[in-house]
Amino acid sequence: MKAPMTKIVHYINQFFAGIGGEDAAGSPPVRVEGAIGPGRRLQQLLGDDLHIVATVHCGDDYASGSADAVQEILALVRQDDPDLVIAGPAFTSGRYGLACARVAAAATEHGLTSLAAMHEDNPGVDEGGAATIVRSGVAAREMGSSLETLAAAAAIVAGGEPLTNEQGRLGRPRRQVVRADRPAAARAVDLVLARLGGDLEATEVPLPRFEQVTPAAAVEDLAQTVLALVTEGALVPEGNPDRLESARATRWLRYSLDGIDSLAPDQYGSIHGGFSTVWANEDPHRIVPLDVARELEAEGAIGRLHGEYLVTAGNGTSVANARRFGVEWAADLRRSEVRAAILTST
Amino acid sequence: MAEARPTEGLQERPAAGLTRVVHQVEAVDFGERTVYEGGRLTVSPAEAAQILSSPALGEVSVSWASPGSPVRIVKVLDAVEPRTKGPGGGGIFPGFVGPAQPQGRGRTHVLRGAAVVAAGYLPRAQEAVIDMSGPAAALSPLGSTHNLVVEFVPGEGAKWEDVDEAVRRGTLALAARLAEAALDAPLDAVEELPTGPSATAGLPRVGVVTNLQTQGTFKDVFVYGRSFAQALPTLLDPGDLDDGAVVSGQFGHPGLKNPTFMHQNHPVVAELRRRHGKDLDFAGVVISPEPVDADNKQLISVHAARVCAAAGFDAALVTKEGGGNADADVALKMDELEALGIVAVGLFAEMAGTDGTGPSVVVPPSRATAMVSTGNYDDQLVLPAVDRALGGTTVNLVDLPATEELRLPTAVVYCSLSPLGWGHLRCEAAV
């Protein structure tokens, strides 16, 4: 008897759906019948038993800019009641990778088998939750080989088998807390003696790898550019009305600068838990330099100051959250036509 | 004519090395006089209040929180083990109780099983919790000691810096006074601490570099009573740790902080002493500040590595204090040590996120790769409701009454991720 066909919904971004580039990055999610873009070649590689019944595409800014977007996408994905959700490949594109990982993670939470494809340095690798993430190339020029890896992985996970690292699975194993027999001090001395004895591999903490961030190109014409002020210095309106965490922040906030020329010490203050806030609170411009920014705006040195500042507290924040804030800020600012930002760090 | 001997006229020096005279505290009480008798420590609240009194403080009170009791201490500041070297302290806590002079010699009386714990609001202090019962009790070294909890209100018009200073001085003086009650009591143990190279030839010389988080008022550490913020790394006689030369005024990152109690009982130093002459030669303690800016982190790290080299270390354990920023101080030192041919091992609490999937270390070393895990900062705990709370009525982080059931990250439990290696928590890869 022939095995029943596996129904697949494929998620891709606006670029690979042929909608447009950065100009269309804000486009909302849309469902279309069958395979489109890279999905066509993927379908050929998948063969007859695995069938892409629909494609959902969405702009990268829209998809990575809020948690609601992922739920919207998931609602479209679930219309076809798929057996497998495939997202990507996203290569090293940060917003696209994040969207793929989150769609896969959300689908997995809803009991759908899902698979996202991206390069190992994509920040999305950390956001896949319980979904499987498979390796892709660095950029679209490696589309062919990336789709071959993805198709092979799809056949494996569609069959209910776990994907192994050798088969291209990405993502570090979850760190779980256990109680050791001996205290850390004793284990540390053991480790010193092992290393002195020539064991250079021994460690309890595998060395994490961090991607190198390439600085953006210089802004060409600042006088025509919308500039934003963003900070991890936890400067919030007096009384911290939205309860930003002073440490281990899980979110970021935005506050309007419309019609405001300066930040009065009795109206703004830093609630950051990681540095002495005395001088910040004496003059909040030490964290968010609105005064100078307004001067530059008046002189015409910058095109315009963005109408709000974005803020979080960078204190004991997990790298995964910090990276997510960065991607969300970039998407949010792009949507508002901001093309340059000053990030003040404390 | 007889030649003058070169040592003639020099004062006789006390023998090198330190002896800890241990008195175990099995039970505690309040009474009219402060007495230690038959393992029971009785404290006079009036005397305690008098020792703590200061123009910077209003009302001050003391309460006992004992192991196994349904009590939670919140807003924990410093914790101190009661110790003394003689009447009036005999030089203990140099720079605060005793004169600012190196100690670490002679005899030190220890009231083991007890602590003086200051608790209350100070600016910049992050919420810190000790449970005396339930699952979190075992995660803190102060969950199994009889704690004399000092609560205070600021004096009228007092500056917070002065309140902080008064609480610190009062807590240390009270700890010295409690130990004085045991000066003439029968002892439970005598611990002779090793000093100098061991008699066994050919053992590797292993030392420890302990970073102290020095980031200004309410986040500072004192050595001989002085802020260590502007200091360069230096060797410190290990006996000076026992005698309270390093005093904590650092109230950030409770799970990752090193209160005075932990410096007095430095777990890595204890382990190096234990194995001295067997597996290794204990080569010394280097203390180092943790500057806030990158240039100074680099300078201090290179300098610390050179101090270790000058002291002939073959290997060094590197400990930290604080959150992700302080990972850089450990990582840079590990790399600089290995660049000089000194084997380095770091102790790191992992910051792997609530689900354990985030990258563990904020700033990893590049040359040195040997790291011990002290648990996951973000791992969530459930602390059951308790009958009584000391130190405050609410828990800041979650905005709940301090006696209620609390869901908190491990990071909030006092010394739970001890960077000095006290704890048993560790992370491993889930299968």
Does residue A41 lie in a domain region? yes
Per-residue pLDDT, B8: 47
C-beta atoms of B374 and A179 within 8 A: no
Residues of B in contact with A175 (CB under 8 A): 350, 352, 356-357, 360, 376, 427-430
Decide: A33 and A60 in contact? Cβ < 8 Å: no
Across B236-274, b (16+ Cβ under 10 Å) vs e yields bbbbbbbbbbbbbbbbbbbbbbbbbbbbbbbbbbbbbbe
Does residue A167 lie in a domain region? no
Q: State the average pLDDT over residues B145-161.
A: 97
Question: Domain end: A158, A184, A201, which one?
Answer: A158
3-state helix, strand, coil in chain B (%, to 5): 25, 35, 45
Task: Identify whether residues A144 and A277 lie together within a single domain.
Answer: no
* Mean pLDDT over each residue of chain B, to the nearest integer: 94
Question: Domain end: A158, A180, A213, which one?
Answer: A158
Residues of A in contact with B314 (CB under 8 A): 196
Decide: B146 and B66 in contact? Cβ < 8 Å: yes
3-state helix, strand, coil in chain A (%, to 5): 35, 20, 45
CATH number at residue A69: 3.40.50
Task: Identify whether residues A280 and A148 lie together within a single domain.
Answer: no
Task: Identify whether residues A28 and A126 lie together within a single domain.
Answer: yes
DSSP A87-116: E---TT-HHHHHHHHHHHHHHHHTT-EEEE
pLDDT tens-digit profile of A309-329? 999 999 877 777 888 888 889
Per-residue pLDDT, B22: 98
Question: CB count, 10 Å around CB of A146?
Answer: 27
DSSP A329-342: HHHHHHHTT--EEE
pLDDT band for position A18 (50/70/90)?
very high
B24 CB burial (10 A radius; 0-12, 13-18, 19+): middle
Question: CB count, 10 Å around CB of B7?
Answer: 7
Per-residue pLDDT, B155: 97
Per-residue pLDDT, A87: 98
Task: Identify whether residues A35 and A107 lie together within a single domain.
Answer: yes
Task: Identify whether residues A138 and A262 lie together within a single domain.
Answer: no
pLDDT band for position A172 (50/70/90)?
low
| Best mutation target, A120, A189, A191, A277, to test chain B (most B CBs within 10 A) | A189
Task: Identify whether residues A154 and A228 lie together within a single domain.
Answer: no
Strand partners, B35: B42
How many cross-chain Cβ pairs, A to B, lie less than 8 Å apart? 206
Q: Can you tell me the distance from the alpha carbon of B378 to that of B351, in angstroms, rounded to the nearest whole number? A: 6
pLDDT band for position A20 (50/70/90)?
very high
Domains in chain A, number = 2
Any chain B CB within 8 A of the CB of A44? no
Task: Identify whether residues A127 and A243 lie together within a single domain.
Answer: no
pLDDT band for position B3 (50/70/90)?
very low
pLDDT greater than 90 at residue B224: yes
Decide: A28 and A63 in contact? Cβ < 8 Å: no
pLDDT band for position B15 (50/70/90)?
low
Any chain B CB within 8 A of the CB of A2? no
CA dihedral A239, A250, A227, A291 (to 10 degrees): 20
The domain containing residue A122 runs over which residues?
Answer: 6-158
Question: Which of B280, B348, B423 is nearest residue A183 as measured by Cβ atoms?
Answer: B423
Q: Lowest-pLDDT range, A82-96, A312-326, B66-80, B220-234? A: A312-326
Residue percentage of chain B with pLDDT more than 90: 85
Any chain B CB within 8 A of the CB of A120? no
C-beta atoms of A184 and B347 within 8 A: yes
Per-residue pLDDT, B2: 45
**Nearest C-alpha in A relative to B125:** A273
Residues of A in contact with B376 (CB under 8 A): 175, 177
Q: Can you tell me the distance from the alpha carbon of A205 to that of A191, in angstroms, rounded to the nearest whole number? A: 12
Does residue A55 lie in a domain region? yes
**Nearest C-alpha in B relative to A323:** B358
pLDDT band for position B354 (50/70/90)?
confident
Any chain B CB within 8 A of the CB of A281? no
Decide: A346 and A272 in contact? Cβ < 8 Å: yes
Residues of A in contact with B252 (CB under 8 A): 273-274
pLDDT greater than 90 at residue B430: no
pLDDT band for position A169 (50/70/90)?
confident
pLDDT tens-digit profile of A183-213? 999 999 999 999 999 999 999 998 766 666 7
Q: Can you tell me the distance from the alpha carbon of B309 to that of B330, in angstroms, rounded to the nearest whole number? A: 17
Q: Distance, in angstroms, between B15 CA and closest chain A CA?
A: 29
B319: phi > 0 → left, psi -120 to 50 → alpha, else beta; which?
beta
Question: Domain end: A130, A158, A186, which one?
Answer: A158
Does residue A301 lie in a domain region? yes
H helix runs in B209-255, sequence order: 238-242
Q: How many CA atoms within 13 Å lie on the side-chain side of B159?
A: 5
Q: Can you tell me the distance from the alpha carbon of A338 to that of A332, in angstroms, rounded to the nearest whole number? A: 9
Question: Which of B351, B369, B426 is nearest residue A207 as measured by Cβ atoms?
Answer: B369
Looking up tokens 């014409």, which residue turns up?
A221
Q: Can you tell me the distance from the alpha carbon of B99 to that of B95, in angstroms, rounded to the nearest whole number? A: 5
Task: Identify whether residues A107 and A231 lie together within a single domain.
Answer: no
Task: Identify whether residues A112 and A229 lie together within a single domain.
Answer: no
Cis amide prior to A89 (ω within 30 degrees): yes
pLDDT tens-digit profile of A243-266? 998 888 888 999 999 999 999 999
Residues of B in contact with A176 (CB under 8 A): 356, 427-430
**Nearest C-alpha in B relative to A250:** B353
Decide: A97 and A118 in contact? Cβ < 8 Å: yes
Per-residue pLDDT, B274: 97
* Mean pLDDT over each residue of chain A, to the nearest integer: 91
Residues 6 or more apart from A117 whose CB is under 8 A from it? A86, A87, A88, A89, A90, A100, A133, A134, A135, A136, A146, A149, A150, A153
**In this structure, which amino acid lies at residue B273?**
R
Q: Can you tell me the distance from the alpha carbon of A328 to that of A308, in angstroms, rounded to the nearest whole number? A: 15
Residues of A in contact with B292 (CB under 8 A): 275
B199 CB burial (10 A radius; 0-12, 13-18, 19+): exposed
Outline where DSSP puts E strands in A182-292.
226-231, 235-237, 253-256, 268-270
C-beta atoms of A182 and B369 within 8 A: no
pLDDT greater than 50 at residue A25: yes
Any chain B CB within 8 A of the CB of A239? no
Decide: B421 and A184 in contact? Cβ < 8 Å: yes
| Best mutation target, B139, B257, B320, B428, to test chain A (most A CBs within 10 A) | B428
Q: Distance, in angstroms, between B219 CA and closest chain A CA?
A: 8
Residues of B in contact with A321 (CB under 8 A): 353, 358
pLDDT greater than 50 at residue A48: yes
Smallest CA-to-CA distance from B176 within B95, B236, B235, B231 is with B95
Any chain B CB within 8 A of the CB of A191? yes
Decide: helix, strand or coil at residue A165.
Answer: coil
Decide: A288 and A262 in contact? Cβ < 8 Å: no
pLDDT tens-digit profile of B112-148? 999 999 999 999 899 999 999 999 999 999 999 999 9
Of A283 and A322, more confident: A283
Q: State the average pLDDT over residues A159-178.
A: 82
H helix runs in chain A, sequence order: 38-46, 60-65, 67-78, 94-109, 143-158, 184-196, 278-282, 290-299, 319-335
Per-residue pLDDT, A210: 64
Residues of B in contact with A209 (CB under 8 A): 359
Tell me the ipTM for this assembly.
0.94
Please state whether beta strands A30-33 and A50-58 pair in parallel, antiparallel, or not at all (unpaired).
antiparallel
| Best mutation target, B376, B424, B431, to test chain A (most A CBs within 10 A) | B424
Domains of chain B by residue range: 18-189, 197-380+405-412
Q: How many CA atoms within 13 Å lie on the side-chain side of B221?
A: 29
